[in-house]
Amino acid sequence: MSVIADINRDGWPVLALEEWLPTYETLHRWTQIVGKTRLRLAPFENHWWNCALYVTAHGLTTSPMPTRSGVVDVELDFLTDAIVARGSWGQVETMPLESKSVASFYEEWKALMSRLGVDVKIVGKPNEIADATPFADDHKHATYDADSARSWWNALARVDQILNEFKGRFSGKCSPSHFWWGGFDLACTRFSGRGAPRHPGGIPNVPDYVMQEAYSRECISAGWWPGTVDSPVPYPAFYAYAYPEPDGCSAAPIKPAEAHYHPQMREWILPYYTVRESNDPEGMILEFLESTYETAAVLGGWDVEALRASPPIVAPRR
């Protein structure tokens, strides 16, 4: 078993980027193929929420997508190392998750959709990464280490629970905790209710109109991603940022002490390894999420108290 799969006493896996990079790069492209299918089939939702994937007890899902025959959902199952596609008419189709090129995966994916009777055409190249080799031509990325994939998903599952708790503390418009296959990150975004300046775009291999819709409303976003090679943050980390960014964010004190503002990224960063080594990982993450949100919200003139959720008083469970 890979050392990637080591788990600490609180269930947080080791995720050294350099050790699982080939699997990461391959999975990044595979999830884009699945996500682009949801983007094509699902009705539009503001900020492109109709294209994201969601954490499940086994992996990641598209959630139900409408087709001419009914609805279909697709799950990348990292416990059984398979893609499972289910139609509401009772049909189930699978394909194995194993080392294979992106080109081979793409061909198998199209055949899977065909067997389900789902006619869908996607833009056949990746977004938000510099290497936009079309899926059909990508024979370079071809690694799937099951232990590494499960460890990454285990981290996603832990973070998803915390983001959902954080989401429940906010009474305003808020996104689900969802997986963005472009950035390969899990995120939750809160909104003030006000419009935002036009986003300048400039994201690799992403049309500017995509980012302009994504950031069409004033927001504060937070999440987790496994890092990016040759980037300012080449290691797993939690992040938080505001768009537009209010004056004063870079100098504002935040918690915990292990977090910092990254001037190049224009984001607050909390390294994953400091969380994993903490005596209270969940508490540290929630402290980071609350501290960065409140800092950005106050500096941005949000009505913090009005947007704070008050849990209802309910009878205890029996």
pLDDT tens-digit series, residues 143-152: 999 999 999 9
pTM higher than 0.85:
yes
Residue 8 confidence (pLDDT): 46
**pLDDT value, residue 77:** 98
37's CB contacts (< 8 A; 6+ apart) are 62, 65, 74, 109, 113, 120, 122
108: which residues sit within 8 A by CB, 6+ positions away?
95, 100
Res 317: pLDDT: 59
In whole angstroms, give the CA distance from residue 299 to residue 78: 41
Q: Count Cβ atoms below 10 Å from residue 96 Cβ, excluding itself.
A: 12
The whole-angstrom separation of Cα 137 and Cα 17 is: 25
Q: What is the pLDDT of residue 61?
A: 98
Residue spans of the chain under pLDDT 50: 1-5, 7-9
Q: How many other C-beta atoms are found inside a 10 Å radius of the C-beta of residue 308? A: 13
